[in-house]
Amino acid sequence: MSIVQIENVTRDYTQGSHTVRALRGVDLTIEPGEFVAIMGASGSGKTTLLNLVGGLDGPTTGSVRIEDHELAGMTAAERSELRRDRIGFVFQAYNLVPVLSAVENTEMVLILRGEAEATRREMAMKMLGAVGLEGMENRRPNELSGGQQQRVAIARAIAGAPALVLADEPTANLDSETGNEIIALMAKLNQEQGITFVFATHDPKVMAAAGRVIVMEDGLVKEDRRS
């Protein structure tokens, strides 16, 4: 079963009096374990596509299936549950809740799922270890560097053993060395644990590491190359 199956999808936005067609008919399939980068200029529909893949939004027409759950026609609450259970997110910045510590941020998803206190704390600590942040679990985001914050975001994203992790420009705010570390970390998780990663990015480093690059232009997929 593919992780993501998008068929003939359009997405329109109304801003005031005029309507913008962000996606004009996109077909896309993503298989488990892939490391995919989506590229494109602003206005190309790249962010919209990512939002759909991530279940943050639904299509205007067409079908979006995530692990065989059809997004079209889902209520906001249903999409919420889907995200909680099956999808992880890493954003460019402001990922974490400022008032919670690293471990508390990480275990957020588990709490939302209703996991028992003991098990979730254990799991969160394990995740922080996996991203190389042992000893930092009680630090607040304002006590962590940019790179460390991104690591926590990644730990949170994988804490729930999701089918898919979406990363929206995760390295854009980082210097090149830290950026490399983050990419390497995500690649490692992809290879060792088989977690599917989908990126929206401009960063050539990410594209270099990606097994598949999709280029968007004017709401359509222009290129879809595998390396």
Partner 1 sequence: MLLRMAFRNLFRNKRRTLITMTAIAVGMALINVTITIQHGSYTDLINRGVSSIAGHVVVRSPGFLDDPELRVTDSAAHAKRLASVAPDAVVQRRIMLGGLLSSTSGSAAVQSVAVEPEISRDIGSMYDEMVSGDWLETDRDIIIGARLAETLDVKEGDKLVFMGQSGGEMTSRLFRLKGVFKTGAADVDGFMVVMPFAAGQEILGGNDLATMVTLHLDDAAAWPAAVDAAQTAFDGTDVDVLSWKGALPDVDAFITADRSIGQGMLFALFIIVSMGVFNTFLMSVLERTREFGVLQSIGMKPNQIAKLVLVEGALLGFFGVCMGSLLGVGLSYPIVVSGLDFSESMGEGMSNAGVVMSTIVYGAWDIPRMVVFAFACFVVTFLAAIWPAWKVSRLEPVKALRNQG
* Residues binding partner 1 (CB under 8 A): 51, 54, 56-57, 76-77, 80-81, 83-85, 88-89, 91, 94-100, 108-109, 111-113, 156
CB distance 101 to 147 below 8 Å: no
Instruction: Determine the Cα–Cα distance for residues 91 and 167; give it in Å rounded to an integer.
Output: 6
Helix 102-113, helix 117-130: angle, nearest 10: 130
Please say which residue, 72 or 112, places its beta carbon nearer to partner 1.
112
Please say which residue, 131 or 213, places its beta carbon nearer to partner 1.
131
Minimum distance, C-beta of residue 37 to partner 1, in the bound complex (Å):
20
Minimum distance, C-beta of residue 158 to partner 1, in the bound complex (Å):
12
Please say which residue, 118 or 225, places its beta carbon nearer to partner 1.
118
Single out the residue of 158, 151, 190, 163 nearest to residue 55, CA to CA. Answer: 163
Minimum distance, C-beta of residue 22 to partner 1, in the bound complex (Å):
11
Please say which residue, 100 or 172, places its beta carbon nearer to partner 1.
100
Instruction: Determine the Cα–Cα distance for residues 97 and 64; give it in Å rounded to an integer.
Output: 30
Single out the residue of 53, 50, 88 nearest to residue 71, CA to CA. Answer: 53
Minimum distance, C-beta of residue 225 to partner 1, in the bound complex (Å):
28
Torsion angle defined by CA atoms of residues 86, 89, 95 and 96, in that order, rounded to the nearest 10 degrees: 30
Minimum distance, C-beta of residue 109 to partner 1, in the bound complex (Å):
5
Please say which residue, 56 or 72, places its beta carbon nearer to partner 1.
56
